[in-house]
Structure 1
Amino acid sequence: MKPLVTGAGLGLRRDFSDEFEAVSQSCVDFMEVAPENWIPFGGKFTKQFEQYAERFPFVIHGLSLSIGGPTPMDTEFVKQVASFIKKHKIRSYSEHLSYCSDDGHLYDLMPIPFTEEAVRYVADRIKQVQDIIGMKLAMENVSYYAAPGQEMSELEFLLAVLEEADCDLLLDVNNIYVNSINHRYDAKEFLKALPKERIAYAHIAGHYDEADDLKVDTHGAEVKADVWSLLETAYQEFGVFPTLLERDFNIPPLAELFSEVAQIKAIQQKFLAKNLEGKAIA
């Protein structure tokens, strides 16, 4: 699959949306926003986003689609997203493989039961979204802390949904690490079992160490060494793919975010160089 974006990305947050001139393509190759945070607005916020969208390729990462939720899909919202995608030439639309609403918003990502019935249910809803937006939806492997009604493993469930829905994968490297500690599995083996051809792009983020055997996915800290190492394993296994730094709170100065984006770029360049060396030797 040809990448829809390339290089190293950063999530655009309103915390630094006024610092437009400080963000250059030498620092960031692509950017990401949650459509829910930008679609409802006009005026200043729309103008700011349009400025960024003229300079950077954009992907969008949704917060409220609730793909595994029990209530009917909000198709009017999906149509708004489809218009947003078309207007701003959005390269990819991703969402969480979870649910976050019932009769109202739950304000958290709840785990979908790992069952065959849930695979079919979720896949049908993904197909519904894909029909409306006219492109593949990328589903993110999420962190979870309980597995109610589990009949298959997290990996089996994820692979089954991707195949049944014929959708893309947003590979969250930190979530694999966090889940591997919390649910006691081998992060590298999980990673290596994923379908390379479905990876649209990746997320990398920080987490909180509650205990040696409990990690909490927060997106509120620097990326930890074990997660950087797992990203290197992913590049070794699949080749270099677009990777975006997530930071959702405790937002530091832009220079600190740029430093972590630069670390993504450095790792990417290392593996690209290795690939070129390998081709030259061959």
Structure 2
Amino acid sequence: MTAWPPAITIPRLGVGVGLRAEIEDLVIDHADQIDWLELITEDYLFNPHRRATLAALRQRFPLIPHGVELSIGSAEALDREYLSALAELVALVEAPWCSDHLCFTRAGGIALSALLPLPRTAEVVTAVADKVRQIQQVVGVPFLLENISAFIDLPGEMPDAEFLTRIVERADCGILLDLTNVYNNAVNHRFDPLTYLDAIPLERVVQVHLAGGTYAGDLLQDNHRTAVHTEVWDLLRHVLPRAPISGFMIERDGKLPDDFPEILADIARTREVLGTTGAGAESR
């Protein structure tokens, strides 16, 4: 393990939004209210039509690739073609970092269409950390792992917070802290979210995700279909004094573009929380 943060300068980007095709025109029209954009990596890797839009977007916003199909927790080796294309995309948009989920999405070459939790074992810690080191070497920028929302809590050798901590410290990478996922898991698996947050290395948090979800019976779903939960704002206030966060991002899916005004409201609310806690957006 080496010292964190990395020698590479990580700029403070401010408050952004996850880009979706349904709101792209609205995002451009409201560029004065949006600091940066998170791109779904797979929308651009092998899609020439989508890649053709990047030059115009890059003139207006910093762009950060965020993947959903790297499947870093699969037993198989990393997909070298995917990784090479990711490095090309990172260079194309001059991204200061990129990210994906701490999970697996493929098994035996079959796409599972879900972000699935990993067995929390020392063997998996080693395997995932080794892959993260490979990724960072290829892409040339810091790589962040995101904690996922999981409907099931697999038994393991260690608690989830320790699992994440051991991986990021062994890999010497950053964290994309999804505060909504922390809250969802706390509700669904009945634990204290503040205890979880206090157990992870907050000094490694480069970016946060903020979102809302809906209930299916007693189960809180991570579907990004509502405004950010009140409790998630409270979690943000809790981590801000100790986490040198470079990018705050609103995730929204569902009824787009109709819900775009709520996205703007959540962006404004984020800035309000930052203002009341004394957090800024200057470069670190």
Q: Answer yes or no: is 1:55 the counterpart of 2:60.
A: yes
The SS at the match of 1:18 is: helix
Tell me whether 1:29 sits opposite 2:31 in the alignment: no
TM-superposed CA distance for 1:5, in Å, is 3.4
How far apart, CA to CA, are the structure 1 residues paired with 2:251 and 2:98?
16
| RMSD (Å), alpha carbons | 1.9
Higher RCO by CA contacts (8 Å cutoff, separation 6 or greater)? 2
Tell which deviates more after alignment, 141-150 or 123-132.
141-150
Q: CA deviation at 1:20?
A: 5.4
Which structure 2 residues correspond to residues 179-194 of structure 1 after superposition, within 5 A?
Answer: 179-194=185-200
In 2, Cα distance between equivalents of 1:28 and 1:267 = 16
Instruction: In structure 1, list runs of 5 or more residues that go unmatched.
Output: 275-282
Task: Tell me if structure 2 keeps the 8 A contact 1:9–1:242.
Answer: yes
Structure 1 residue 182: Cα displacement: 1.6
Determine the C-alpha separation between the residues in 2 that align with 1:239 and 1:87: 26
1:139 correspondence with 2:145: yes
Contact 1:5 1:30 in 2 (8 A): no
The runs of 5 or more residues in structure 2 that have no matched partner are none
Aligned residue runs from structure 1 range 2-13, under 5 A: 3-13=10-20
Residue 93 (structure 2) pairs with residue 88 (structure 1): yes
Deviations 1:171-199 (A, max 9, x none): 10001111111222111121122223211
Matched residue SS, 2:208: strand
- 1:269 equivalent to 2:283? Answer no
CA contact (8 A) 1:68 1:99 kept: yes
User: 1:279 maps to which residue?
Assistant: none
In the TM superposition, what whole-angstrom CA distance separates every residue of 1:230-259 from its partner, at most 9, and x where no partner exists? 112122443665210011322234332111
Between the aligned partners of 1:73 and 1:106, the Cα distance in structure 2 is 16
- Aligned counterparts, 1:188-267, within 5 A: 188-212=194-218, 214-238=219-243, 241-251=246-256, 252-267=258-273
Give deviations 1:152-209, integer Å, cap 9, x for gaps: 1001101010111111100100011111112221111211222232111110111222
Q: Cα offset for 1:56?
A: 0.7
Match for residue 123 of structure 2 among 114, 117, 128: 117
Are the equivalent residues in 2 in contact too, given 1:97–1:140 (CA < 8 A)? Answer: yes
TM-score by length of 2: 0.89
Shift of 1:269: 1.5
What are the equivalent positions in structure 2 for 1:33-48 lying under 5 Å apart? 33-43=39-49, 45-48=50-53
Q: Is the 8 A contact 1:4 1:200 kept in 2?
A: no
Alignment partner for residue 17 of structure 1, among 21, 24, 38? 24
Matched with 1:158 is: 164
With the length of structure 1 as denominator, give the TM-score of the two structures: 0.90
Partner SS state of residue 47, structure 2: coil
Runs of 4+ aligned structure 1 residues displaced above 6 Å come to none
How many residue pairs are counted as aligned between the two chains?
Answer: 271
State how far apart, in whole Å, the 2-side matches of 1:134 and 1:47 are: 23
**How many angstroms does 1:266 deviate by?**
1.1
